[in-house]
Amino acid sequence: MTTIDKLDIGIYIQYARRTNMIEQITQQYHLDQASSIPPQIQVLDSYPKLSEMDLLLGVVVQNPWALFYPPPQFRYQRRSPFGFFRVAPSLGSFEEEEENQRQFDDTECETEEEEREKKTLKKCFEQIKKINNWISFIVGRVGQFLQG
């Protein structure tokens, strides 16, 4: 049976070194004075970063396979997601979209694969139209809220 008096002296030396290192870090970073910092001080960083607590605690098991930084002028853009009334404004105006829809419906398919692609694109355009309706409904309600 091992007792404390039979342990190797190296353990005590390691403990003393670690205690000394902690004291040095506390002095170097002035951690004993951290409680005197007013809570009103706030540092705002607009670049998204991985949560430091997750990294420290080891909650994030996998590294992200892709990490992109925002464009250089991103912080100066203050646009609301409700400032747009359409999901894909590059499709043109509503009239152009309807004209393209008619042309798309009139297009003949030669193979079965083209027919499946046409059905898929048709469902996609229907979903875009549905999302545009949702956005216009939300923007309308926001306008009502701001008026009232």
pLDDT tens for 36-57 read 877 777 666 666 566 666 666 6
Q: What is the pLDDT of residue 19?
A: 94
Rounded-to-integer distance, Cα 31 and Cα 22, Å? 11
* Percent of the chain at pLDDT exceeding 90: 14
pLDDT tens for 8-35 read 888 889 999 999 999 999 999 888 887 7
Rounded-to-integer distance, Cα 48 and Cα 70, Å? 8
Q: Place 94 in a pLDDT band, splitting at 50, 70 and 90.
A: confident
Q: What is the pLDDT of residue 17?
A: 95
Q: What is the pLDDT of residue 33?
A: 84
Rounded-to-integer distance, Cα 51 and Cα 36, Å? 25
Chain position carrying tokens 């004209």? 99
* Exposure b/e, 63-78, CB count within 10 A at least 16 = b: eeeeeeeeeeeeeeee
Rounded-to-integer distance, Cα 30 and Cα 37, Å? 11
Rounded-to-integer distance, Cα 133 and Cα 125, Å? 12
Which of 1-5, 21-25, 141-145 is most confident? Answer: 21-25
- Residue pair 54/60 in contact (Cβ under 8 Å)? The answer is yes
The DSSP result for 54-122, as a single string, is HHHHT---S--S---PPPTTGGG----GGG-S-S-GGG--HHHHHHHHHHHHHPPP-SHHHHHHHHHHH
Q: What does the pLDDT average to over 121-145?
A: 85
